Structure formats: structure tokens, C-alpha cells
Amino acid sequence: MDNAIKVKRLPRDPGLSGWNALLEAPPPPRVCEENITADWLVIGAGFAGLAAARRLSQLRASERIVLLDAVRVGTGPAGRNAGFMIDLPHDISAEGYAGGLEKDQRQIAMNRAAIGFAREAVEEHGLPREAFDPAGKINAATTEQGQRQNESFAAHLGRLGEDHRLLDADAMRNITGSEFFCGGIFAPGTVMIQPALFVRGMADGLVRGGVELFEESPVTGLERLGPDWRATTPQGSVTAPRVVLTVNGHANSFGLFERRLMHIFTYASLTRALSDSEVRTLGGEPRWGATPSHAQGTTVRRISGTGGDRILIRNRFTYDASMEVGQRRMATVARGHDRSFAARFPMLADVTMEHRWGGRLCLSRNGVPAFGEQKPGLFSACCQNGVGIAKGTLSGMLAAELAGGGNHPMVADMLAFEEPERLPAEPFASLGANAYLRWKTWRAGVEF
Ligand SMILES: Cc1cc2nc3c(=O)[nH]c(=O)nc-3n(C[C@H](O)[C@H](O)[C@H](O)COP(=O)(O)OP(=O)(O)OC[C@H]3O[C@@H](n4cnc5c(N)ncnc54)[C@H](O)[C@@H]3O)c2cc1C
């Protein structure tokens, strides 16, 4: 990366996030229209950026902290995911999520540190239960193969000493109302968030605490000027000696970690609100979340709250090196979501999808974050490997510790990760990754 860089690409988020659509429209954004001098600049107001700004505001309470995002808070990936803030190992590139014992123990400790940090903020800002619900989650199986994967995951959880409960098909039906699932594992540590409500609430809390948030203010250039960095936006600039870059895969657009980050999209659809009689026909519990036993399968979530009773379907991963997806892809995915919904909820044949969207993830080939001081005064907390609610929160918080002189012991864990591994050149990276993802999806079979 150069000392004067032109940002190559700005984020483009396909479709409107249903989570955001369920909430009231926010007041107009504050856009960066002046030339500001600050002590700290955080670029990107997703989980990592919000956590970094919060931790900086604790460590450097009297200093001026500016947080910029290209879009409105809640409309980027942080407001368009499925909402599972997962404490347990969840390697989405593996089939059964689990890794080695010691590695997983460390990951669990890190995820729980993130959840604890988020919980403190939720309490301080007075966010409602719907924004952050420590309800646990199910790993749902729909095939014998899925059951076997669940059994081996349960054994792994046993070895880790982690609380979990096996569910048979009847128990699954009692919870979900669906006959489609043949079993599941319930584990209590996951927090279910309403992503847009959560990130908007976090941002509002930060602003009340003195952080200056500018939305719809994309950074188009970042340049070193003596001891400072100057970030340029279309109508203004922010100059600060220390910058924390929390843009996930868009680190590449800033010239960082080039050919080391994989840009993956995944997709969600949210039904219209169910009527009272549809809720009765469905049965089951009003709120639950199920990730698939096979990582490439379908995530399903039942919600009940702002916006009524609805069901969310999430599946498909595609590798898009351009960091954009088009309408044709969205239409194909939508047909797949409808099939996944119909297979699970045949009793809701008249229920249609009201919102559909996609969003970016960032993975590295070796599953490590893109974390640390990349240039003097320029810190990165990027590449959350698909589970960015917990990992993004932690990496943002720890980047603030590293940059702001905190002494959190997990900074050393983050710095101990190796560098993100290099990818093959294009088009081989895209061809290989998409063939691999299609194969994984085929392996997921009916889980899909
Ligand atoms: C459909 C879907 C379901 C998912 N489900 C889950 C789940 O259940 N659990 C889970 O843990 N994860 C899930 N994820 C992944 C999760 O959303 C991401 O990993 C997470 O959002 C990453 O957090 P982050 O803060 O690192 O980056 P982001 O949330 O991507 O935030 C980065 C921000 O940087 C901003 N930005 C980029 N470039 C610029 C620029 N030039 N100038 C200013 N701002 C810029 C972007 O607008 C964005 O708001 C899902 C994702 C999708 C799409």
C-alpha cells in the first residue's frame, strides 16, 4: 500500500435489508461536509468499527473520535446478516464447523469476550431485548448425513466441556412447527440480534457519548501527510494521526492485503408478516434460530416482534472478486430461497417473501483475520471469516486496544495469527472458489 491511495471501489449492497425495512426510517444522516481535524478516525461503521469507536471512547475519553461510513448505519453487511452472534466455533468453510480442541477453546474465549463487550454496550445504551437476545441457537439437521455431522459436533462440544442438548425430530417440530428437521443440537451461548436495530442502537449510543458519526460519507482517498493521515470524502476530509480501518473485505479497495482476501456473498429472504391464523397453523415457538448442520446448508430464523411474525431464510455462498453481484444472481437465489422455504413450511404455501437481499463476507484462505498496524498510525481490523458479529466486534475492540494503548491480553492472540494466505491469480481464484462452493452446496444436499 502506498502513502497516497485512491480507494478503488466503494461498497455496493444488493437489495434492501429486511431488518432495516422493519424499523422506522432514521433521521437524515450527518454527512461529512467540512475539513475536520481529529485525534482518531475509524473508517467503517459495521461491528468492527462500532466496537473500535466504543473502546477508543473508553480508553481516550477526552479525545476527538470520528467514525465514517459510506452508507447509512444498518444498511451495510452489519445490518443485513442473519443475526447469530455465535460463541462456539463456527468455521463456515468446514463441513461441521469444528476445528482442533485447543484452537476452538481459544476461539470460544474470544467470541465470548466479544459478546461480553457487546452486552455491556447494550446495557449502557438501553437497547431492547429484541436487539440482543441471549436465546441460544440450534444446529439443525435435515438428513442422516446432517445428523451424523451433528453427532460428531456434539461429541466435540462434549470434549470442549460445552453445554448442549440433543433434540430429536419431535422436539424440533415442537420448536419450529416444521416436520422437515430430523434432529438438532441446542447450545445456549449464541446471542440472537436484530442486526439493524443492534447497530443503529450502538451508533446512537456512541453519538450520545461524543463520537462524531458521519454517514453517506465514503472515503475515496487516504493519504499520509507528515505525522497524520488525511481521509478524503466527496464533500470533506478528516485528518487524524491514527486511523482504524474496519471495512472488512474493502481493505483490498484501500490497497491492503491484495490477493489475500476472498470476497463471498451470501443471501437472505424475509417473509411478509404472518397472519394470526398462519401463526396458529405453523405452531412452534415464536422466536428461534437454526443454523444448518452442514455449513453450506440453509439457516432459518423465526422472529416475532417489530414487524410482526416472520421467517428468514439464508443460503448460498458465491465468490465475487468484483465485490458486486447483479440482478440475475439475485433472481436465481430468490428462486432457491422459495424452494427452501416451501420444503420446510408447506403449511405456509400462501406466504410470500417481502424482502430479499445479499451481502458481503470476507474470508482468508487460512481462516485468519487481517489485523494489526499496517503502516505507522494505520490499523486494520478486517476479514472476519464469515462470522463477523462476534469476530468483528472483537477485532474492532482489540484494534482500539492496540492503537490506543490498552493492555487487553487478547491483542497478543490476534497478533499471533499468521498473515492471510496468498490466493491464486484471477481468473483461477474465482473459478476454483466457485467450483468448490458449488461442490460444497451439492454435498449439503437436501440441507439446502
Ligand atoms: C445474509 C448474511 C447473513 C449473515 N449472517 C451472519 C450471522 O448470522 N452471524 C455472523 O456472525 N455473521 C453473519 N454474516 C456476516 C457478517 O454480516 C459480516 O461478517 C460482518 O458484517 C462483518 O463486520 P465488519 O464490521 O467487519 O464489516 P461490515 O459489517 O462489512 O462493515 C464495514 C463497513 O465499512 C463501510 N465501508 C466500506 N468501504 C468504505 C469506504 N471507502 N468509506 C467508508 N466506509 C466504507 C461499509 O459501508 C460497511 O458499513 C452474514 C452476512 C450476510 C450478508
Task: Label residues 142-163 b or e (16+ Cβ within 10 Å = b).
Answer: bbebbbebbbebbebbeebebe
Counting from 1 in the atom list of ligand 1, the atom nearest the Cα of 75 is 49
Span from the CA of 369 to the centroid of ligand 1 (angstroms): 14
| pLDDT given for residue 361 in this prediction | 96
Domain range for 192 is 4-447
Task: Give CA torsion, residues 127, 208, 71, 384, to 10 deg.
Answer: -60
Span from the CA of 361 to the centroid of ligand 1 (angstroms): 7
Span from the CA of 129 to the centroid of ligand 1 (angstroms): 22
| pLDDT given for residue 95 in this prediction | 59
Closest to 114 in 3D by CA, of 443, 387, 417: 387
* CB 289 near ligand 1, within 6 Å: no
Average pLDDT over residues 129-150: 95
| pLDDT given for residue 245 in this prediction | 98
Phi and psi of 360, rounded to 5°? -90, 145
* CB 111 near ligand 1, within 6 Å: no
Q: Is 375 left (phi over 0), alpha (psi -120 to 50) or beta?
A: beta
Q: Is the pLDDT of residue 179 over 60?
A: yes
Span from the CA of 148 to the centroid of ligand 1 (angstroms): 32
Q: Is the alpha carbon torsion for 17, 19, 23, 27 positive or negative?
A: negative
Counting from 1 in the atom list of ligand 1, the atom nearest the Cα of 299 is 8
Angle at 347 between CA 344 and CA 353, to 5 degrees: 70
Average pLDDT over residues 332-344: 98
CA-nearest residue for atom 28, ligand 1, is 46
* CB 248 near ligand 1, within 6 Å: yes
* CB 296 near ligand 1, within 6 Å: no
CA-nearest residue for atom 3, ligand 1, is 81
CA-nearest residue for atom 9, ligand 1, is 84
| pLDDT given for residue 213 in this prediction | 98
Helix (H) or strand (E) holding 438: helix 428-444
| pLDDT given for residue 296 in this prediction | 85
| pLDDT given for residue 98 in this prediction | 66
pLDDT band at 427 (very low <50, low <70, confident <90, very high): confident
> What is the CATH number for 358?
3.50.50.60
For 77-102, how does the pLDDT look when each residue is reduced to its tens digit (9 = 90+)? 999 999 999 999 887 666 566 668 89
* CB 14 near ligand 1, within 6 Å: no
* CB 250 near ligand 1, within 6 Å: yes
For 1-54, how does the pLDDT look when each residue is reduced to its tens digit (9 = 90+)? 568 989 999 999 999 999 999 999 999 999 999 999 999 999 999 999 999 999
Mutate to test the pocket of ligand 1, among 132, 219, 248, 264 (most ligand atoms within 8 A of CB): 248
Rounded Cα gap, residues 61 and 67, in angstroms: 15
* pLDDT, the chain, mean: 94
Q: Is the pLDDT of residue 446 over 80?
A: no
Average pLDDT over residues 281-289: 98
For 346-386, how does the pLDDT look when each residue is reduced to its tens digit (9 = 90+)? 999 999 999 999 999 999 999 999 999 999 999 999 999 99
For 220-234, how does the pLDDT look when each residue is reduced to its tens digit (9 = 90+)? 999 999 999 999 999
| pLDDT given for residue 294 in this prediction | 87
Rounded Cα gap, residues 216 and 48, in angstroms: 18
| pLDDT given for residue 96 in this prediction | 62
Mutate to test the pocket of ligand 1, among 81, 194, 303 (most ligand atoms within 8 A of CB): 81
pLDDT band at 439 (very low <50, low <70, confident <90, very high): low
Structural domain count, the chain: 1
Span from the CA of 49 to the centroid of ligand 1 (angstroms): 10
DSSP β-ladder status, 40-43 and 353-363: unpaired
